[in-house]
Amino acid sequence: ARPLVIAVDGPAAAGKGTLARRLAAELGLPYLDTGLLYRATGRRVLDRGLDPRDAIAAEAEARAMTAADLARTDLRGPAADMAASAVAAIPAVRAALLDWQREFGRRHGAVMDGRDIGTVVFPEAPIKLFVTAATGERARRRWAELHARGVAADLDQVEAELRARDAQDAGRSTAPMKPAEDAVLLDTTDLDAEAAYAAALLLVRTRM
Ligand code: C5P
């Protein structure tokens, strides 16, 4: 049988990372946070003092990326968020990262979280979740995350940045963020992490 791939897509701070990681542990599957690939690419471009919208530079950095880049400690935060989203809108960057993601999933199966796993990377995945939450609630969660890490942030600004990134991710022409036609929508606005996980596990179990 083909190794199982579970696609977990959705906007930032909807809870998909926590949920995907726990599902992977529960099911004994590897977990892949595909956002890291775009974040590391964006960081490499910024390191070179170049613009993340520069298609030539961004493609070169996507192709030159190594495992060490994925382990960097500066991949989270407003600058990294926007650089990731900028390089992610470039078709050549997405193409450069596609085979690697498919190879990863095909080898041992995976729970993969991102924006286009169910639509582009693994359209044949038998289980697809699209995790959402109201923007205000996602902003509060992201703000609390930053606060817990000791990063001072303004809630309105966090929300404005989430909105800008969602608009860029959903509005790009290549692999825009959107639910696959056969994805199950999970709205976590009124669910805590525990309840969201329980709901996701139930959905997955009924489809396995
Ligand atoms: O999920 P995360 O917030 O870490 O993703 C960072 C950025 O990477 C997203 O805003 C999006 O632009 C891009 N991304 C993507 N496709 C994926 C995963 C992430 O375009 N599968």
For atom 5 of ligand 1, the residue with the nearest CA is 35
Taking the C-alpha atoms of residue 80 and residue 46, their distance in angstroms, rounded to an integer, is 9
What residue ranges line ligand 1, CB within 6 angstroms? 12, 34-35, 38-39, 84-85, 88, 114-117, 165, 169
Residue recorded with tokens 């390191």: 47
**β-sheet bridge partners, residue 127:** 6
Per residue in 45-97, pLDDT (tens digit) is: 999 999 999 999 999 999 999 999 999 999 988 899 999 999 999 999 999 99
pLDDT score of 1 more than 90: no
Per residue in 174-207, pLDDT (tens digit) is: 999 999 999 999 999 999 999 999 999 999 999 8
pLDDT at 181: 98
Taking the C-alpha atoms of residue 51 and residue 187, their distance in angstroms, rounded to an integer, is 35
Q: Is 20 within 8 Å of 112 (Cβ atoms)?
A: yes
Ligand 1 test: best mutation among 34, 90, 132, most atoms within 8 Å of CB?
34
Taking the C-alpha atoms of residue 105 and residue 107, their distance in angstroms, rounded to an integer, is 6
Ligand 1 test: best mutation among 39, 43, 115, 168, most atoms within 8 Å of CB?
115
pLDDT at 2: 80
For atom 19 of ligand 1, the residue with the nearest CA is 35
pLDDT at 77: 85
* Atom number in ligand 1 closest to CA 165: 10
Query: 177 CA distance to ligand 1 centroid (A)?
Result: 9
pLDDT at 208: 79
- Summarize the confidence of residues 9-20 as an average pLDDT: 96
Determine whether the annotation assigns residue 10 to a binding site: yes
pTM: 0.96
Identity of residue 26? E
Per residue in 113-135, pLDDT (tens digit) is: 999 999 999 999 999 999 999 99
- Which phi and psi (to 5°) does residue 48 adopt? -85, 0
Q: Is 59 within 8 Å of 48 (Cβ atoms)?
A: no
pLDDT at 28: 96
Ligand 1 test: best mutation among 85, 162, 174, most atoms within 8 Å of CB?
85
